[in-house]
Amino acid sequence: MNQQTIFVINSGSSSLKYQLIEPVSGDVLAKGLAERIGTDRGEVTHIVHGEKHTDTLPLPTHKEALNHIIDLFKENGPDLDHVGLAGFGHRIVQGGWYFKGAAIVNDDVHAKITELCDLAPLHNPAHLIGIDTAMELWPDLPHIAVFDTAFFADLPEKTRTYALDKETAHKYRIRRYGAHGTSHEFVSGTVCDYLGKDTVRQITLHLGNGASACAELGRKAIDTSMGLTPLEGLVMGTRTGDIDPAVVFHLLRKGMNVEEIDTLFNKKSGMLGLCGDNDMRDVWQRRDDGDSDALLALQVYQNRLLKYIGAYTFELGGLDVLTFTAGIGENDARTRYRLCEKLEFIGVKIDKELNENRDPSKSVWRISTEDSKVLVLVVPTNEELAIARQAIRLI
Ligand code: AMP
């Protein structure tokens, strides 16, 4: 059998997403999700050939979840012994200062991911559980860690450095690490492939429930909106994005504790905090129904985006390509239109028809007019495929 596949795992604290991918063609042979791990009401959904198989059962740990996923593969296919399984790709949010690219998991890599839990306390520990469980079940296959931060490891010093006391920053390793790197790398690389050149000044906007902007020269990131953690930058579904740090001191003095502020900024702010909804479809609906909170939330959201596009256009010395991706970027024609309308003075001309009529067969979709000075694209992101490709390259 010549086919080679990669089993991609994205392990969260109470969930585990997976895809079995053929990295060259990008074909997904099967995918699924285990949810509510750690409870007796766990749920595993396995999708193969468009058919969904769902089981509800106790899932005390990730091990039971992965074991049940294996059972679902046995029952519904494909047969993992006959798909040319070459190894595993594990998504890791924080690779800190150690990882500039994907790495085969060994004791040293494992220890470094563990050390970095400090910087990603919600994510890295959960990824390690996924790695440990999969390595226990498949000890003979290579396990590759693919880091969200790797694309930003070589950000220029002037963009990765905060204007914070040097010694404190050094002592606590405080710098801009960025996030969504796998997506920005995939999308900006796809744009370069599409244009057949590596010299473009581009901005990629990953607009999903989490959101970030990235400025790239060709395939290289030069600035990005997420910082030490994925809290900084754009307005997101439930996160504040940029906010005066003095708001933290103020709330502390008013009696809130650190955990409460952390939850407030990460889970109760952004669009949800501004108007009570974090799904953009609901926010638009409410705005159409005349809801003033929804209207203001959309204005704050778009203004923040505009600021970043402006800043990055100046950092890049001009703009050749602007690309939208992720849930909102790929599906929300109105957000794209409203934003691009305001960019007319830098030469952006959006084609209303193209913007509203997606051709799902295309991996790159132009929405600007032929004579637009800035090319505006939609590129559906595919982080799992990017992880599978990085893994197979290393294997
Ligand atoms: P993601 O985090 O990339 O999966 O994006 C999820 C978000 O995409 C949802 O919370 C919605 O806000 C948004 N979204 C998905 N479909 C649409 C749509 N048709 N119109 C507007 N927003 C959408």
Asked if residue 226 belongs to a known ligand binding site, the reply is no
pTM of the predicted structure, to 2 decimals: 0.93
Give the chain's end-to-end CA distance (angstroms, integer): 17
CB 331 less than 6 A from any atom of ligand 1 = yes
> Do 6 and 391 form a contact (C-beta atoms < 8 A)?
yes
Q: Strands (DSSP E) along 130-263, which ranges? A: 143-147, 201-207, 211-217, 220-224
How far is the C-alpha of 33 from the C-alpha of 59, rounded, in Å?
13
**Element of type H or E holding 267:** helix 258-267
Atom of ligand 1 nearest to the CA of 381: 3
Asked if residue 84 belongs to a known ligand binding site, the reply is no
Asked if residue 281 belongs to a known ligand binding site, the reply is yes
196-383: CATH class: alpha beta
Cα of 218 vs centre of ligand 1, distance in Å, is: 27
Cα of 335 vs centre of ligand 1, distance in Å, is: 11
Cα of 282 vs centre of ligand 1, distance in Å, is: 10
Q: Could you check whether the bond before residue 78 is cis, i.e. omega within 30 degrees of 0?
A: yes
CB 208 less than 6 A from any atom of ligand 1 = yes
> Do 177 and 96 form a contact (C-beta atoms < 8 A)?
yes
Can you tell me whether residue 289 is helix, strand or coil?
coil
5-147: CATH class: alpha beta
pLDDT tens digits, one per residue of 224-243: 999 999 999 999 999 999 99
CB 281 less than 6 A from any atom of ligand 1 = yes
CB 279 less than 6 A from any atom of ligand 1 = yes
What letter would DSSP give residue 81?
G
Q: Give the pLDDT score at 338.
A: 97
Q: Which two tokens stand for residue 204?
A: 């990629």
State which amino acid sits at residue 157.
E
Q: Where are the domains of the chain?
A: 5-147, 196-383
How far is the C-alpha of 154 from the C-alpha of 21, rounded, in Å?
29
> Do 140 and 85 form a contact (C-beta atoms < 8 A)?
no
Radius of gyration of the chain (CA): 21
Atom of ligand 1 nearest to the CA of 326: 3
Cα of 279 vs centre of ligand 1, distance in Å, is: 6
Sheet holding 143-147, edge to edge: 51-59, 39-48, 27-35, 16-22, 5-11, 85-92, 143-147, 103-104
Asked if residue 217 belongs to a known ligand binding site, the reply is no
Q: Which residue has the tokens 């409410």?
A: 286
CA atoms within 13 A on the CB side of 379: 27
- 342-350 own/partner pairs: CB under 8 Å, 24+ apart: 342/302, 342/306, 343/306, 343/309, 343/374, 346/313, 346/319, 346/373, 346/374, 347/372, 347/373, 347/374, 348/322, 348/372, 348/373, 348/374, 348/376, 349/373, 350/376
State which amino acid sits at residue 122.
L
Atom of ligand 1 nearest to the CA of 284: 21
Asked if residue 373 belongs to a known ligand binding site, the reply is no
Residue bearing the CA closest to ligand 1, atom 20: 332
Q: Give the pLDDT score at 1.
A: 52
Asked if residue 160 belongs to a known ligand binding site, the reply is no
How far is the C-alpha of 57 from the C-alpha of 60, rounded, in Å?
10
Can you tell me whether residue 209 is helix, strand or coil?
coil
How far is the C-alpha of 373 from the C-alpha of 344, rounded, in Å?
9
Asked if residue 259 belongs to a known ligand binding site, the reply is no
**107 is a catalytic site residue:** no
Residue bearing the CA closest to ligand 1, atom 21: 332
> Do 43 and 36 form a contact (C-beta atoms < 8 A)?
yes
Each residue's pLDDT expressed in tens, for the chain with a length of 395 residues: 578 999 999 998 888 999 999 999 999 999 999 999 999 999 999 999 999 999 999 999 999 999 999 999 999 999 999 999 999 999 999 999 999 999 999 999 999 999 999 888 878 999 999 999 999 999 999 999 999 999 999 999 999 999 999 999 999 999 999 999 999 999 999 999 999 999 999 999 999 999 999 999 999 999 999 999 999 999 999 999 999 999 999 999 999 999 999 999 999 999 999 999 999 999 999 999 999 999 999 999 999 999 999 999 999 999 999 999 999 999 999 999 999 999 999 999 999 999 999 888 889 999 999 999 999 999 999 999 999 999 999 99
Cα of 222 vs centre of ligand 1, distance in Å, is: 27
Helix, strand, coil proportions of the chain in percent (round to 5)? 40, 25, 35
CB 332 less than 6 A from any atom of ligand 1 = yes
Cα of 157 vs centre of ligand 1, distance in Å, is: 33
CB 235 less than 6 A from any atom of ligand 1 = no
Please pick, among 40, 107, 118, 148, the residue that the annotation labels catalytic: 148
CB 237 less than 6 A from any atom of ligand 1 = yes
Pocket test for ligand 1, best of 226, 235, 328 (most atoms within 8 A of CB): 328
Q: Give the pLDDT score at 380.
A: 94
Cα of 278 vs centre of ligand 1, distance in Å, is: 9
